[in-house]
Chain A
Amino acid sequence: MADDIRASQAARDLALGADKSEFERIVRWLLGNGHGQAIGAEYLGHSDDWVEFGLCQRPDLVADPATGVIASGPIITLLDFATSTSTWLRRKKVAPNATLDLRIDYLRPARPGVMIVARGECYAAKRTVSFVRGIAHDGDPDDPIAHCVGTFFNMDEKSSV
C-alpha cells in the first residue's frame, strides 16, 4: 500500500506535457492493479481528449450462466476508468479524482466471447468538477452496447469547496 501511495503521489505531481507515453505508462500501472487487474482491464489507446480501454470476456465475469453474457459491472468499471482518466487529458494533468455520479444505459447485451472496448471522453473540465461521457462496444463503435454520462470531483482542487 505504501508503494501505491508513493506511486499515486508521483502521478499527482506529474503534469502532462508533450510526452504522451507518460499518460500511457500511468494508466497501464493503474489498470494493472486492484480491481482493474482483477477484471483484466487493458490499455488500448488515447488521444488529446479520449481514451480507450479493453476487456476480454471471461466466465467469471458472466452475469447469468443461462445466457453467458458478460455482467454490466465490469463494463461500468471499464467506463469508469476510461472516463476518469480522460479528465487528465482534458485538464492536461494527472490528478486524483472521485466519481460523483454515473448514469449508464445498456443498449443491448454484448456478444459473448468478444473483446469489450470502452471509450471515455471528458467534454468539459471545470475547476472543481469534470464532465464526462463514454460508450462501450464489442467491435463496432456505431453499434454500442452501453452509453454513459458522469461527473468527477477534481480532488486536487479541494480548497475550492
Chain B
Amino acid sequence: MKNTGMPNGQKTVDMPYAATLGLTFEQDAEGEWLAIMPRADTLGGRPGFVHGGALAGMLECVAIHKVQTVAAPREGKLARPINLSISYLRGATHDHCYAKAEIVRLGGRIIVVSVRVWQDDPQKPVVMGQVSLMR
C-alpha cells in the first residue's frame, strides 16, 4: 500500500467526533483515501436506516480529513465547515457506509469539497454533498 501521508506528517486526523461515528480512513492502491463508517446501532435513524444526521456528520468529517491531506492546517487547527449542502438520494440501510471526497476548489482560506457516500455500489450513492470549509 502506497502511503503518501499528509502534508504535516500526520497519518490520521484526530477528530473525537469521527471516532464516535466509528469512522476510519484507509488508502487504496492509487493512494486515494476511502472513509468507512461501519454498521452500528448508535447510528440508527428511522427503523432499518442510518440517521441522516450521522450521514451528514460523516460527510463533514470526510471533507475535513480531505482538506488535511492536501493542505497544512493553519495555526494547528483543522479546517472548519462554513456550509454544507447535502442531498439524500436513497435511504441508507442499516449497514456499512463508504465515502470518498474530491477537492473542488483549493483557495488560500476557502476550500470547497465534494463528498459521495455509498453502501454496496459506488455507482449508486446514498448521499452526495458539497462542503465549504475555512482554514
Contact = CB atoms under 8 A, between A and B. Distances in A.
What 3 pairs across the A-B complex have the smallest Cβ distances?
A73-B57, A77-B53, A34-B44
A128 interface: no
Interface of B: 14-21, 41-48, 50-54, 56-58, 60-61, 64, 76-78, 80-88, 91
A80 B91 contact: no
Given A64-B15, A73-B17, A35 B53 contact: yes
Given A61-B16, A76-B56, A1 B45 contact: no
Given A61-B16, A71-B15, A101 B86 contact: yes
B21 A102 contact: no
Contact of A106 (B44, B48, B82, B86): B82
Contacts of A78: 53
Nearest to A6: B47
Contacts of B64: 63
Contact of B43 (A38, A66, A99): A38
A129 interface: no
A103 B88 contact: no
A5 B47 contact: yes
29 contacts: A8-B47, A35-B44, A35-B53, A38-B43, A39-B53, A60-B20, A62-B17, A63-B15, A63-B78, A63-B80, A64-B15, A71-B18, A72-B84, A73-B56, A77-B52, A77-B53, A79-B53, A80-B51, A80-B53, A81-B53, A99-B52, A100-B87, A102-B56, A102-B84, A104-B56, A104-B84, A106-B80, A106-B81, A106-B84
A67 interface: yes
Contacts, number: 136
Contact of B16 (A65, A101, A102, A105): A65
A79 B53 CA distance: 8
B51 A109 contact: no
A36 B54 CA distance: 10
B17 A60 contact: yes
Given A35-B44, A73-B57, A103-B86, 12 more contacts: A1-B48, A34-B43, A38-B20, A74-B57, A76-B60, A77-B51, A80-B53, A98-B91, A101-B86, A103-B83, A105-B82, A109-B80
Contacts of B52: 77, 80, 84, 98-99, 102
B20 A61 contact: yes
A37 interface: yes
A73 B58 CA distance: 7
